[in-house]
Amino acid sequence: MLVVFLLVVVACSGRLHAQFEDALGILNAADTSVIIKQSTQADTFLVVRYLSLVQRAHPEIRIAAAGVERARGAETAAWGLLDPRITGSMSAKQYSGGIKNNDLVTGLTVPLYWGQQLTIGYRRSIDFFNQDYATTDAGEPSIGLMLPLMRNVQIDPTRTAILRAEQALLGADAAYRERRNLVSYLALSDYFAWAAARARYAVAEQLYVVARDRYRLVVTEIQRGERAPIDSIEILQEVLRRRSLLARARNQLERSTVALWLNLWGIEWERLERLASMVPEPFPALEFIDPLQLEFDRVRARQRRPELQKLQAEYEQLAVEQRLAGEQFKPLINASVNLYTPSWSPPLSQQPTYWKAGLAVEIPLLYRRPQGQREQIRAQLAQLETTIEQLQRRIESDVLLGAANVNATYEQAVLARAERIAAERMVEAERQLFARGESDLLRLNLRERLLAEAQEREIEALQAHATAQAFYRWAIADY
């Protein structure tokens, strides 16, 4: 039994020793990324350029832009209901010994926007048994006008289709701006996360390099007999810890780079390595929102938020439908008048002119269809009014929360920067004490850890403030 226990202890010790050797091998290797190749050349990736690339080529924005083009096509098709139309027909009937019912009819119909129709026609009907319908051999030109008298005067289906299409275009444009506003905010959040990851990696790398160089110095001093051997274990433990933090910072940088790459589209951004040669610009300047600016932005947000404009376009569409439904309660009375001449031979001033007038009437008995339509539209309008009211309150809350976040992160960033400056002074003082032999590695490592934590808090505060600024811009529709 004792032999088995000793064998287990030896095996575990050998395995732990192998793992320790693996850790030392990682320390001797340079810190590299599998998916991001480091580059010696680094170009600054400006926020303005990044945002313009996102707004120009992001798939969600392109989809919304295609929706605008589709709405514009629907508007053109709606206006096509007023296109002039040319119609014509020709027929002849044969019987034994000749031709009868030789008929030719052609005309131009011009619909007018306010519901009238203008017609210009020509008819030639010879050998027709109905003498009232028959014309001379030269044919009969005519001009006519149809006038709605009751229904379809204030609004009609054609005008309804056009007005709905115009409001649909406004709604599609608002949807496009809404998508661009949201995608821009999310893309900026990814950019600032990438910038923060780069900053964290730089801090972790700097701390690791300092600990690694100190480890070599301590080992040299131990070999000369100037230090106790236990100091090498103390500093080696710190080097291992900082290399682990460096690996974690590298992984955060990898993930943030991939997230940023997903927002970039185009031939030059097909490969992720393109971002390896780019560095972010510094975080934006700190900003504090005063009450006067907040009140101005609250008013501006209610005017500019595309979500509200999209709902207002839907409301206008329903209002047009409500007008059309109310128009259906009127009886349909259309009057028509035609002027024609049966002769072409005399001069125009001497040609005989005749007229033909008509009246078309349609009166529904129950009006259930328009009444049902009007009730549905009233319910939809009530729902939309409530939705608009709720959205207005939400826009107010977005602006207020955005301003609160900007101001709170402003204070945090100022305090974190002051804390980092104080921590740097403490580390510098501790290093001087350590160089004179008045301090030890434990205290120096502790001071540097506190400095790293202060630097991390400053980076987090700057990232949070930049993201809060981006959110505030989204809240007031500033993209």
pLDDT at 91: 82
| Ordered strands of the 98-111 beta sheet | 85-95, 98-111, 117-126, 140-148, 332-340, 354-362
Residue, of 42 and 291, whose pLDDT is higher = 291
Q: Does 398 share its domain with 313?
A: yes
Q: What is the dihedral of CA 128, 133, 136, 140, to 10 degrees?
A: -140
**In this structure, is residue 263 part of a structural domain?**
yes
52-74: average pLDDT: 94
The DSSP annotation for 231-299 comes to HHHHHHHHHHHHHHHHHHHHHHHHHHHHHHHTT--SGGGSSGGGGGGEEEPPPPPP----HHHHHHHHH
418-434: average pLDDT: 91
What number of residues does the chain have? 479
Residue, of 345 and 196, whose pLDDT is higher = 196
The one-letter code for the residue type at 307 is E
Q: Does 295 share its domain with 406?
A: yes
Q: Does 469 share its domain with 398?
A: yes
pLDDT at 230: 77
Q: Does 395 share its domain with 295?
A: yes
Q: What whole-number distance in Å separates Cα of residue 270 and Cα of residue 265?
A: 7
**In this structure, is residue 223 part of a structural domain?**
yes
pLDDT at 108: 93
Q: Does 120 share its domain with 212?
A: no
Least confident range from 203-207, 231-235, 455-459: namely 231-235
Q: Does 282 share its domain with 195?
A: yes
Tokens of 359: 């009246």
Q: Does 315 share its domain with 232?
A: yes
Q: What is the dihedral of CA 168, 173, 174, 177, to 10 degrees?
A: 160
Q: Total domain count for the chain?
A: 2
Under the banding of pLDDT at 50, 70 and 90, the label for residue 5 is very low
Q: Does 66 share its domain with 209?
A: yes
**In this structure, is residue 10 part of a structural domain?**
no
pLDDT at 6: 36
Q: What whole-number distance in Å separates Cα of residue 217 and Cα of residue 55?
A: 52
Q: What whole-number distance in Å separates Cα of residue 335 and Cα of residue 149?
A: 7
pLDDT at 180 over 90: yes
Under the banding of pLDDT at 50, 70 and 90, the label for residue 22 is low
Name the residue range of residue 58's domain. Answer: 42-77+159-320+377-475
Residue 163, Cα to own-chain centre: how many angstroms? 26
**In this structure, is residue 171 part of a structural domain?**
yes
Least confident range from 7-11, 102-106, 150-154, 283-287: namely 7-11
Longest dimension (CA), the chain: 138
CA-nearest of 144, 63, 77, 73 to 107 is 144
Q: Does 285 share its domain with 392?
A: yes
Percent of the chain with pLDDT over 90: 58
Q: Does 232 share its domain with 352?
A: no
Pairing of strands 332-340, 85-95: unpaired
Q: Does 120 share its domain with 237?
A: no
61-73: average pLDDT: 95
Cα→Cα distances 354→79, 127, 135, Å: 34, 22, 13
Query: Buried (b) or exposed (e) across 262-297, using 16+ Cβ within 10 A?
Result: ebbbeeeeeebeebbebebeebeebeebeeeebeeb
Domain with residue 286: its CATH number is 1.20.1600.10
pLDDT at 128: 64
Q: Does 67 share its domain with 212?
A: yes
pLDDT at 190: 96
pLDDT at 9: 38
Percent of the chain with pLDDT over 70: 89
Over residues 382-414, the pLDDT tens digits come to 999 999 999 999 999 999 999 999 999 999 999
DSSP 3-state of 343: coil
Q: What whole-number distance in Å separates Cα of residue 65 and Cα of residue 68?
A: 5
pLDDT at 38: 67
DSSP 3-state of 344: coil
